Amino acid sequence: MAPTDDYSMVVARFPTAETMQYKVVGTGVWHDGSYTYTVPEPGRAVLDATQTDTGQPITYSLGLRCSDNTSGNYRYSIGDSPEPSGEHTATYLFQNMRP
C-alpha cells in the first residue's frame, strides 16, 4: 500500500532482540519499547509491544501485512481500543533487521 495523506510513515529499529524503537516520520521523536514477534502465516506477522517511554506503559499490537522482508503496512490496536479501522493503518519500514 502506498502512503497517502491519510497514512503515516513509521520507521522502526531493533537495538536488541527484545527491544525496539520507532518514530512517525516527520516528528523526530523516537519511542522505546519491548516486543514479541510471531508469524502466524506467510506474509503476515504480529508484533505485540509495550511502549516504555511514557509515564504509564502503553500495550499495543501490530498486525503486519508484508510487502517484502523490510516493508509493508500494518493495522494496530491499543489496549482495549475498538476493532482497528482505516485511521489505525500505517506503512512500516524496518531498519537494522536481525535474523
Residue-wise pLDDT tens digits, 12-60: 888 998 999 988 888 889 999 999 989 999 999 998 999 988 888 888 8
Q: Are the C-beta atoms of 20 and 30 separated by less than 8 Å?
A: no
Q: Are 58 and 48 in contact (CB under 8 A)?
A: no
Given a cut of 50, whether residue 63 has pLDDT beyond it is: yes
What is the DSSP code string of 1-65?
A: ----TT--EEEEE-SSSSEEEEEETTT---EEEEEEEEEEETTEEEEEEEE-SSSS-EEEEEEEE
